[in-house]
Structure 1
Amino acid sequence: VSQLASQVFGRNGFYYFVQGTTALILVLAANTGFSAFPLLAVNLAVDKYIPRMFTIRGDRLGYSNGIVTLGIASIALIIAFQGNTERLIPLYAVGVFIPFTLSQTGMIVKWLREKPAGWQGKLVTNFIGAFISFTVLIIFFTTKFSQVWAVLIFLPLIVYLFHRIKNHYVEVGKQLRMKPGDKEALALEGNVVIIPVAGLTRAVENSINYAKIIGDTVIAVHVAFDRESEKRMEEIWNERYPDIRLVTFYSQYRSLVGPLLRFIDRVEERADDSHMAVTVLIPQFITRKSWHNALHNQSSLLLRAHLLYRKNVIVTTLPYKFKK
């Protein structure tokens, strides 16, 4: 457009008017995607074809998740194609004329099914639109196939992904849906609380006090890496908490998670027979500054990651916040 305007008008006011108008049109075209895609994403999310997070409005009442997703995808395309418009424009054109063709074809199907008053004229209009859009699409595929072939792979993959997401939501709905007369298969009659303890600290003290509130049976578990520390922990524990059972394990290979998981498995089996819930209460340090986390052992995060997908184990984190 710049070259044509320069040849026709020269470098005068008309040339810059054309340039400014073209820039405004491009800005409007770019903004259209960011205003329309979030609404399209909402419709797809409501129909359960994409994650539900796209239905959430941001602080400015816009569908910010859709806007951010489109922005990231745009950045990725620019980086992947190194900002080369000669390679991006064919993809853009195909991306425009495929939905044009589908939407016009959908309207044709609508008129043929419903046949309202004056439907024949509307049918002809949409048929012409679908034919023109499809013709342009075929021209792009035949003349620019080396630049647009990726669409033939991407579209089936994205449609397949949409259907997998839909199936997931349908299955989740079946499992969560309550029907009249439904009752829980297992009536719980108590709660066994297991507390992993590394030593006697204020965080452990808070955990024990909280466990007494929520649990019928409280068991503390300590994994020792040498016999002396194991014996010393038992002596101190029995002196301070004589009413709380302490189970100690000696881990020769300094494995912390393994012994805990094996003990939790045994408790889970017995609790299942007696219709009791099993809760693992994990003390968690909350540092005042984020970089302080690197200075502390994150074994609680590792243990929680192993327990998260246990079907019959409840994982509870009790935070202990540092002041400094």
Structure 2
Amino acid sequence: MYRQIKRFIIGKPLKNAALKDEKLGILWGLPILSSDAISSVAYAGQEMLLVLIPAVGIAAYGRMSILSWCIIGLLTVLMLSYRQTIDCYPGGGGAFIVAKENLGEIPGIVAGSALAVGYILTVAVSVAAGVEQVTSAFKFLRPYNIIIGVLLVLLLMVGNLRGTRESSKLFGIPTYAFVAGILTLIIYGFFKLQMGYVPRQPDLAAPTQSITMLLMLKAFASGCAALTGVEAVSNAVPNFKEPSPKYAKTVLLLLCLIILLLFSGTSLIANYYHVIPGEEGALLVLLAEEVFGDSFMFYYITASTFLILILGANTAYSGFPMLIAVMANEKYAPKQLSMRGDRLSYTNGIIMLSVVSILLIVGFQANVTSLLGLYAIGVFISFTLSQSGMFMKWVREKSGNWRLKSVINGFGAVMTGVVVVIIAIAKFKEGSWIVMVLMPVMVFVIDRIHKHYVSVKEQLKIEESEYDGIDFAKLNYANRIIVPIESVNKASVRALRYANTICDDVIAFCVAIDEHGAREVKEKYEKLGTDIPLVIKFSPYRKVIDPLLRFIESSEYDREVGDMITVLLSEFVVKKWWHRFLHNNTRAYIERRLLKHKHIVVSVMPLQLKDDMDYLESLKKKKKGM
């Protein structure tokens, strides 16, 4: 049943040879890897207005336009910088690989941690923003925003588990629909103004404070959310068809041109129409209502904005699994995260991203503004480390146009570093402190993971000088087998018979709680007529492992130093998954305890049980035949 459901939801497994067919071109690579950055247009301007309007009133719109052009200038620098990263590091990993190779291990871990946090928050913010958009238009859905958000994350997870190719087709078209809709909104909005339309002027309270640098910086920090997602293209270069760097750089350029048009256009049009985002609705929904009225285009903008915000999270589903797989291959994350699933996607990374994102959506009540306080700082930390790493690379290598390249990356590092400080200060009370506390913890955990893998590798490695000393023909130790039995049944008897075929020194070992239990096991065991000795030990505290270990180390067992003890565990295998919850399942616990001892080998002898209904039916027929 489980397999059938899995195949229905995810699809049939793909062969390794199909991996090349899962690669992206420009047509589908653009919406899949750029949806996050493009979707930021839907809330970056709104977040700036939410900071400015309560403080300076109508002047907020003009200041938003100025800040928007500053953000676009920073976007241009990042685009030029990341094009260089794509050329130098086509294997993916982006900021993590760049920082690790050029700045050192700890900066690399910090960059990887920052990117991972950024991707997780991308899913949470995008989904929460999408839910906010749709509940702005359909207010009766507002009490269910958390439930809707969780369901949408699960939908994204399933779509991505089906593989890159299918998810690109499933999630790509809404991105193009959104771009077309917002361009139509901008063009028709300006056309309407040219035709003499006079927008309604908002009823705003008098300014409560003057336009200060601190206020502008706080609004700028909110608007910098528009730049999140730019790094995803450089992180996922291997997802593109060959030549992958060429396709990746083209997608990055197109992404920046689209953001330039959409972000600057919506900021300018908002400066004329003066809609007030907040309780009454989101910025783009209110602009669409003002420009198009209650028409098809209003609902089109609402629907496409909702979809792009939800699918903006899909960039994280392309970037996070690839990033974490690169880190796992470099032994900085659990190796399970580097393995591809049935559909050649990084299944474990996708599931991990979904689970943590759902926890954030539930924990922050799907509130966009609260989540944004955590959002941009992690991304800009990775920006800064990536640009700093590339700057050090050019200065160290001094090859080609290294001066121009170092100026671009150096300027990018300074600018993004300044933004990190601005966001940390401006958003400190809104949640940036959480990321600042979480980052050192993540760095510590990742460093310990790496040290563990390095330690394991060194301990398992066979040195060249050791190969000649390995003798497979001569064994210097005796092998002895102990078969623990709880009772005399078909599973334990099968294990005893198998043990007797591979070794002459076999002992059956039983742990009894009381005299009655011991006597019952002994009587049944004597009926077997075997010469395999049975040892029964009492355990008044109902322990199983401790009596066995004490027996192995005791003089009664007469174990010599160097002897290897094989503990053969009998286990019956149930047919249904839920049957496992009806049994003790002590085998795994016993195995874990025994494996801590160098001279003990643990083996399992399974007995596969039949289906309950089939067996009981056959038993009934057998009894009738008698």
- TM-score, scaled relative to structure 1: 0.87
Q: Distance between the aligned counterparts of 1:267 and 1:184, measured in 2?
A: 32
Task: Tell me if 1:191 matches 2:490.
Answer: no
Partner secondary structure for residue 78 of structure 1: helix
Q: Which runs of structure 2 are paired with 1:297-316 in the superposition (5 Å)? A: 297-316=584-603
Higher deviation after alignment, 155-164 or 233-242: 233-242
Which residue does the alignment assign to 1:43?
A: 326
Which residue does the alignment assign to 1:181?
A: 465
Per-residue deviation, 1:8: 5.0
Q: Distance between the aligned counterparts of 2:415 and 2:316, measured in 1?
A: 23
2:507 to 192, 215, 219: 219
Contact 1:190 1:216 (8 Å CA) reproduced: no
Q: Distance between the aligned counterparts of 1:228 and 1:132, measured in 2?
A: 79
| Cα 1:155–1:232 shift into 2, 3 Å | closer
Counterpart residue type for residue 264 of structure 1: I
| Cα 1:184–1:119 shift into 2, 3 Å | same
| Cα 1:88–1:267 shift into 2, 3 Å | farther
Q: Distance between the aligned counterparts of 1:58 and 1:267, measured in 2?
A: 51
1:70 to 353, 378, 381: 353
| Cα 1:231–1:68 shift into 2, 3 Å | closer
Q: Distance between the aligned counterparts of 1:284 and 1:233, measured in 2?
A: 18
Higher deviation after alignment, 170-179 or 4-13: 4-13
Task: Tell me if 1:116 matches 2:407.
Answer: no
Which residue does the alignment assign to 2:419?
A: 136
Which residue does the alignment assign to 1:29?
A: 312
Which residue does the alignment assign to 1:96?
A: 379
Q: Distance between the aligned counterparts of 2:524 and 2:293, measured in 1?
A: 92
Which residue does the alignment assign to 2:442?
A: 158
Q: Deviations over 1:275-296 (max 9, x none)?
A: 3210111111222334444554
Higher deviation after alignment, 178-187 or 134-143: 178-187
| Cα 1:252–1:106 shift into 2, 3 Å | closer
Task: Tell me if 1:289 matches 2:571.
Answer: no
Q: Distance between the aligned counterparts of 1:226 and 1:240, measured in 2?
A: 22
Counterpart residue type for residue 500 of structure 2: K
Length, aligned pairs only = 323
Per-residue deviation, 1:198: 2.8
* Identity fraction in percent: 39
Higher deviation after alignment, 166-175 or 218-227: 218-227
Per-residue deviation, 1:17: 5.5
Contact 1:282 1:317 (8 Å CA) reproduced: yes
Q: Distance between the aligned counterparts of 1:126 and 1:233, measured in 2?
A: 76
Higher deviation after alignment, 285-294 or 181-190: 181-190
2:534 to 246, 250, 257: 246
Q: Distance between the aligned counterparts of 1:8 and 1:254, measured in 2?
A: 76
Which residue does the alignment assign to 1:209?
A: 497
Task: Tell me if 1:318 matches 2:601.
Answer: no
Per-residue deviation, 1:88: 0.9
Q: Deviations over 1:220-255 (max 9, x none)?
A: 112334445545644654553442122122445554
| Cα 1:102–1:20 shift into 2, 3 Å | farther
Contact 1:284 1:320 (8 Å CA) reproduced: yes
Contact 1:188 1:277 (8 Å CA) reproduced: no
Q: Distance between the aligned counterparts of 1:126 and 1:22, measured in 2?
A: 33
| Cα 1:202–1:161 shift into 2, 3 Å | same
Counterpart residue type for residue 570 of structure 2: P
Contact 1:197 1:204 (8 Å CA) reproduced: yes
Higher deviation after alignment, 245-254 or 228-237: 228-237
Per-residue deviation, 1:28: 5.0
Per-residue deviation, 1:124: 1.9
| Cα 1:267–1:299 shift into 2, 3 Å | farther
Q: Deviations over 1:134-188 (max 9, x none)?
A: 2322222222111211111111111111111110011001110011232469944
Choose between structure 1 and 2: higher helix proportion: 2
Q: Distance between the aligned counterparts of 1:268 and 1:35, measured in 2?
A: 61
Which residue does the alignment assign to 2:214?
A: none
Counterpart residue type for residue 198 of structure 1: E
| Cα 1:272–1:48 shift into 2, 3 Å | farther
Q: Distance between the aligned counterparts of 1:198 and 1:47, measured in 2?
A: 45
Which residue does the alignment assign to 1:280?
A: 567
Partner secondary structure for residue 465 of structure 2: coil
Per-residue deviation, 1:208: 1.2
Counterpart residue type for residue 190 of structure 1: A
Partner secondary structure for residue 554 of structure 2: helix
Task: Tell me if 1:60 matches 2:348.
Answer: no
Contact 1:190 1:215 (8 Å CA) reproduced: no
| Cα 1:224–1:2 shift into 2, 3 Å | closer
Partner secondary structure for residue 83 of structure 1: coil
Q: Distance between the aligned counterparts of 1:56 and 1:204, measured in 2?
A: 37
Contact 2:563 2:599 (8 Å CA) reproduced: no
Q: Distance between the aligned counterparts of 1:65 and 1:255, measured in 2?
A: 36
Counterpart residue type for residue 145 of structure 1: F
Structure 1 consecutive aligned stretches of length 4 or more whose deviation exceeds 6 Å: none
Bigger relative contact order, structure 1 or 2, given CA contacts below 8 A and separation 6+? 2
Contact 1:191 1:279 (8 Å CA) reproduced: yes
| Cα 1:110–1:201 shift into 2, 3 Å | same
Which residue does the alignment assign to 2:247?
A: none
Per-residue deviation, 1:322: 2.1
| Cα 1:184–1:311 shift into 2, 3 Å | farther
Higher deviation after alignment, 131-140 or 60-69: 131-140
- TM-score, scaled relative to structure 2: 0.47
Higher deviation after alignment, 118-127 or 10-19: 10-19
Contact 1:111 1:119 (8 Å CA) reproduced: yes
Which residue does the alignment assign to 1:264?
A: 552
Unaligned runs of 5+ in 1: none
Which residue does the alignment assign to 1:127?
A: 410
Q: Distance between the aligned counterparts of 1:110 and 1:30, measured in 2?
A: 32
Per-residue deviation, 1:76: 1.3
Partner secondary structure for residue 149 of structure 1: helix
Which residue does the alignment assign to 2:17?
A: none
Per-residue deviation, 1:256: 3.9
